[in-house]
Amino acid sequence: MTKRTELAFTGTHITATVLNYEGIVQFGYNDPVTFEVEGSTFTTNAINGVATMEFDVDPGTYTVRTVNADLANGELIVNA
């Protein structure tokens, strides 16, 4: 796989940035990105290599990952 996702938590959103093997954002990537949170999946389209999911949850610790066949997927532990 030549593309991977890197996840970040901004307080109200989870962002998955699609990068190539050199860590460069893939601005031409506008395909769906699927997130998995505690067994539930959510799909949104990336725009210029970035997919964003609203993350409004109860306080706690959550494991968020991307689950996409064409990407090396990322994982993030969120303490909300």
Please return the burial class of 17, using the count of CB atoms within 10 Å of its CB with bins 0-12, 13-18 and 19+.
buried
Report the alpha-carbon distance of residue 60 to residue 47 in Å, rounded: 29
* Cβ 35 vs Cβ 8: under 8 Å: no
Q: What is the pLDDT of residue 1?
A: 62
Number of domains in the chain: 1
Cα separation of 57 and 29, whole Å? 28
What 3-state DSSP class applies to 49? coil
- Mean pLDDT (the chain) is 95
Q: Tell me, what DSSP letter sits at residue 26?
A: -
Domain span at residue 56? 3-79
Q: Check which CATH number belongs to the domain holding 28 and give it.
A: 2.60.40.10
Instruction: Indicate yes or no: pTM above 0.85.
Output: yes
Residue 67: what pLDDT?
A: 97
